[in-house]
Amino acid sequence: MPYFNKGTSFFLRKFYYAVEEFKLIERGDLILAAVSGGVDSVSLLYSLYFLRHTLGIKIACAVFDHEIRESSYKEVEYLKDLCNILSIRFYTDKANIPAESKINKKSIEETARNFRYRFLYKTADKIHADKIATAHHLDDFAENFLMRAITGGGSGSIAGIKVKNGIIIRPFIKFSKNEIIDFASLNSIKFFEDYTNYQENIFRNNIRLNIIPEFKKINPSFLSTLYRTSEVLRKDDEFIENYAKEIFRNTILNTGYKDSGILTFNIVHLLKLPEAVLYRLFKIAIYEILIGMSGMNNNSRNNYDNSANNDSGVYGNRKNTNDVKTDTDIDNINTTLVNLKISDKEDNGGRCLSPINSDNQNGADNFISYGNFKNLLNIIKSGKPNISFNLNKNVRVIKSYEKIIFEKIENNKYIGKIRDINYYFPLNYKYYEYLINYDDIIKNNADDMKTINKSVIHIKEIDVDLAIGKLSSVNTEIIINKLMKKKFKKNSANAILFDFDKLSFPVKIRNFINGDRFIPLGMRHEKKVKDFFIDKKIPELYRHSIPIILFGGQIVWIGFIMMSDTIKISEFTKNIGYIKLLNNNK
């Protein structure tokens, strides 16, 4: 290590040990320093510069001008000149954040954060930086801890800012603000003050200026004590979270959930779990529904750092009570993370992520609060076999007999799984009824050479086309021969073959109505359709969306599920008809 004065040497040695302890940097790394012009971030830049040979690193500097203060452009110019003197690559961008916040109807703080981190990740991706270094320090850590403790949060959120999260590193996390100021003073480092740091009506500032000093009067080592406490909480939380992830992998019933959009668990298995594990398991499930199924890989999720929200040390403490968010992988997923997308222009394995502005339906409420968790637990434990509710505007939870199902709501529709096939149904069903008359089938020529006559009708309420027609004599003979030899396959979920001579008009397609009866295939006596649904464990939510097909007033097919025995093909069948549900919107 090169020679410095005693104070600087001690500071840099502590910096070096922090890098080593937490394995923040590897030799050969290109470090992108996030710099605003404040004492913390400029001191971070100098620390990296002083230790560049010792650590074996290359350095680049990223500065984003929010154009909040009139003098901000002067600060950018100064930092550009400084980097030129130090031979450090310099990257900058800007946006009129006050104007953007009005356009997007977001707070200035949230808008600034989103623009800033989009810029940081795009720059890191562009220059192939290995790490992004931010200047969060021990005072920031304490502020964040107390904010979460005051406003509410689990052990994961209270555990505070991570020293390393994806490509984000925080070498200053064990440094107090005073240590950083002393370092800047010893080395005559020029920096800029942000007047908003002293506005006590800002929640974070109030904690820093008024509350933390009172704790320090009681315990002068309050900051380091709080950090050690949080470390214990973090280790406990990480243990439970990792255990919950293992349980998730072992208890999920449909391992191909990323293709289906549905997560299914056995209720009996879930109720054996401790509530602490179950709470995290549900959050993992919702996380997978909202993000994991959107094409984001594990790299993507780990690389984005939620503590974009805890940037007071670098970006001037522009905080208010709406910015009380934390930095764990699952427990504190917030608006920014929910709206991540991979850069359209640049994608090298999911590292370049851009937090984009969200619609009102997204945000922290996309994930499960503890209150919602308790409500969900009560529903699971209840004796009712069929319950469904919207956990939020993006996720629906269904209790269907012994199963609990999480599914993503898309375009005001939910996913219904019937006979291992996924269908999309509207959230708010409407009664519908369609008629097909004799002329619609008999006089229409079919496009398919295998059929003679065919009629297609669109059921707009469930966005499904229903086709009904008659097979050609050649195909009828083939099917009957296979049937007699017992080589004919069973009807598929979305189509049936029937004795066409038993067709009577009008053909009606409508919803299920209470009191409906039919004779299921293989039975001799009528059965209530409601009882049939219960026996087949068809979720109550689906029942009024499933199309019911009637011939002359008699139910002949419960769409997707079961045809009636009254129209089955037999050795006496001379003509075969078919009904098929086509072009489901998924």
Amino acid at 324: V
Decide if 316 contacts 196 (C-beta within 8 A): yes
**Strand positions, DSSP E, 450-575:** 451-459, 464-471, 495-499, 507-510, 517-518, 527-528, 548-551, 554-558, 562-563
Question: For 398-420, what is the HEC assignment?
Answer: EEECCEEEEEECECCEEEEEECC
Q: Binning pLDDT at 50, 70 and 90, where does residue 339 land?
A: very low
Phi, psi of 531 (to 5 degrees): -65, -35
pTM higher than the cut 0.85: no
Model pLDDT, residue 140: 92
Average pLDDT over residues 210-236: 92
Average pLDDT over residues 361-379: 66
Average pLDDT over residues 174-195: 93
More reliable by pLDDT, 13 or 296: 13
CB atoms closer than 10 angstroms to residue 522: 8
Model pLDDT, residue 19: 97
Model pLDDT, residue 430: 76
Residue 90 reports pLDDT greater than 70? yes
Output the CA–CA distances (angstroms, integers) from residue 335 to 223, 282, 325, 356, in the order listed. 29, 18, 10, 9
CB atoms closer than 10 angstroms to residue 163: 20
Residue 354 reports pLDDT greater than 60? no
Residue 195 reports pLDDT greater than 70? yes
Q: Binning pLDDT at 50, 70 and 90, where does residue 383 land?
A: confident
Q: How far is 550 from 503, CA to CA, in rounded Å? A: 10
Average pLDDT over residues 475-487: 76
Model pLDDT, residue 184: 96
Decide if 436 contacts 442 (C-beta within 8 A): no
Residue 426 reports pLDDT greater than 50? yes
Model pLDDT, residue 220: 94
Average pLDDT over residues 281-310: 56
Model pLDDT, residue 481: 80
Model pLDDT, residue 567: 94
Residues 6+ apart with CB under 8 A from 338: 290, 291, 358, 362, 363, 366
Tens of pLDDT along 234-286? 888 889 999 999 999 998 887 666 656 678 899 999 999 999 999 999 988 88
Residue 353 reports pLDDT greater than 60? no
Q: How far is 492 from 562, CA to CA, in rounded Å? A: 10
Report the percentage of the chain scoring pLDDT > 70: 76
Q: How far is 67 from 73, CA to CA, in rounded Å? A: 7
More reliable by pLDDT, 441 or 561: 561
Tell me the HSE value of 60 on the side-chain side, using a 13 A CA sphere. 20
Average pLDDT over residues 96-102: 91
Amino acid at 26: E
Model pLDDT, residue 406: 86
Residues 6+ apart with CB under 8 A from 489: none
In order of their start, the domains of the chain are 6-366 (3.40.50.620), 433-582 (no CATH)
Q: Binning pLDDT at 50, 70 and 90, where does residue 163 land?
A: very high
More reliable by pLDDT, 421 or 375: 375
More reliable by pLDDT, 361 or 534: 534
Residue 435's DSSP bridge partners are 508
Model pLDDT, residue 368: 72
Q: How far is 462 from 585, CA to CA, in rounded Å? A: 8
Model pLDDT, residue 113: 86
Residue 274: helix, strand or coil by DSSP?
coil
Q: How far is 149 from 200, CA to CA, in rounded Å? A: 19
Average pLDDT over residues 363-380: 71
Model pLDDT, residue 199: 80
Q: Binning pLDDT at 50, 70 and 90, where does residue 427 land?
A: low
Model pLDDT, residue 486: 67
Q: How far is 53 from 3, CA to CA, in rounded Å? A: 13
Report the percentage of the chain scoring pLDDT > 90: 41
Average pLDDT over residues 502-517: 92
Q: How far is 48 from 82, CA to CA, in rounded Å? A: 14
Q: Binning pLDDT at 50, 70 and 90, where does residue 544 land?
A: confident
More reliable by pLDDT, 540 or 541: 540
Model pLDDT, residue 260: 60
Q: How far is 586 from 576, CA to CA, in rounded Å? A: 29
Identify the helix (H) or strand (E) that includes residue 50. helix 39-50
Model pLDDT, residue 362: 33
More reliable by pLDDT, 491 or 314: 491
Model pLDDT, residue 512: 92
Average pLDDT over residues 352-378: 53
Phi, psi of 136 (to 5 degrees): -60, 135
Average pLDDT over residues 179-188: 95
